[in-house]
Amino acid sequence: MNKLLMFLLTLSCAALLAGAARADPYWISYEGNDFPENEGWTRVYGDENGHGQGGAERWIEDGNLVIDGRRDIAIYDSYTMSRSVNPGPGETFIMHWRLKVEEVSAYQDPSLVVFSDDSWAVAVNYAESYLRSSFDEGVIIPFESGLYHEYEFRSTDMRTYELFIDDSLAHQGVFSDVISSSEVSWGDGWQGSASLARWDYFEFGVVPEPCNIVGIGLLCAVHCASRK
């Protein structure tokens, strides 16, 4: 192989590997086998009697966290984790969850939100047959009611995102400028509405983009092959 090409490939491979070493990917997964507050999440809850009072009826059933806040529309019961969420170069922020929304009254109630490290956010609220992007006026995304659905949220820059439902691209949107930062939250997050929902799992993290992994593999493969 041409020595210059070999040199350039070696440099490229080394640079990619160095970038991967400097990155700090992580993955946090809640599987519905215990209450979230027992697995590192902070429970934020309340009801008509005030913050930290009552909250929703909750139980674990068949590997699902069931949240039933139908007793009163003042009930909220969500789970939050504060940590750096912004992906670095060549990385992607991902949220992935499986959820069945059984009943919602008055307004959208099950919800989730991600706040970037530099105070940009996306929030999603659920009704029985659609979800709404709270900060994007008029963005309503339908889904078949009464079923579990898998959702995946992806962003490489925490300014734009893609939302997939059951492996199909459902929406491309943008983050909104807010005050809070570096936080992920999900559950029964709204007062003024009541709901019954089953969360099979919720997970999020920062992962290397697939192209970088492939690039490292291809460059190193060429490098190794050239030595034979």
The set of residues, in sequence order, having a beta carbon less than 8 Å from that of 66 and lying 6+ positions away, is 58, 59, 60, 196, 197, 198, 199
Which fold would CATH assign to domain 26-210? Jelly Rolls (2.60.120)
pLDDT at 41: 98
pLDDT at 20: 41
pLDDT at 55: 93
pLDDT at 32: 96
* Mean pLDDT in residue range 115-131: 95
pLDDT at 106: 72
pLDDT at 108: 79
Q: Is the pLDDT of residue 178 over 90?
A: yes
Q: Is the pLDDT of residue 228 over 80?
A: no
pLDDT at 218: 39
> What ranges make up the beta strands (E) of the chain?
26-30, 42-47, 50-51, 57-61, 64-68, 76-82, 91-105, 110-115, 120-126, 130-133, 140-142, 149-155, 160-165, 168-174, 176-177, 183-188, 194-208
For the ranges 21-25, 180-184, 206-210, the one whose mean pLDDT is highest: 180-184
Q: Which two tokens stand for residue 113?
A: 């939100």
pLDDT at 135: 83
pLDDT at 210: 66
How confident is residue 118, by pLDDT bands cut at 50, 70 and 90? very high
The set of residues, in sequence order, having a beta carbon less than 8 Å from that of 14 and lying 6+ positions away, is none
Q: What is the mean pLDDT of the chain?
A: 84
In Å, what is the CA distance from 94 to each residue of 67, 136, 153, 155?
A: 24, 20, 5, 7
Q: What pTM, to 2 d.p., does this model score?
A: 0.81
> What ranges make up the beta strands (E) of 106-189?
110-115, 120-126, 130-133, 140-142, 149-155, 160-165, 168-174, 176-177, 183-188
Cα–chain center distance at 6: 41
Q: For 21-35, 43-57, 120-134, which range has the lowest pLDDT when averaged over its residues? A: 21-35
How confident is residue 96, by pLDDT bands cut at 50, 70 and 90? very high
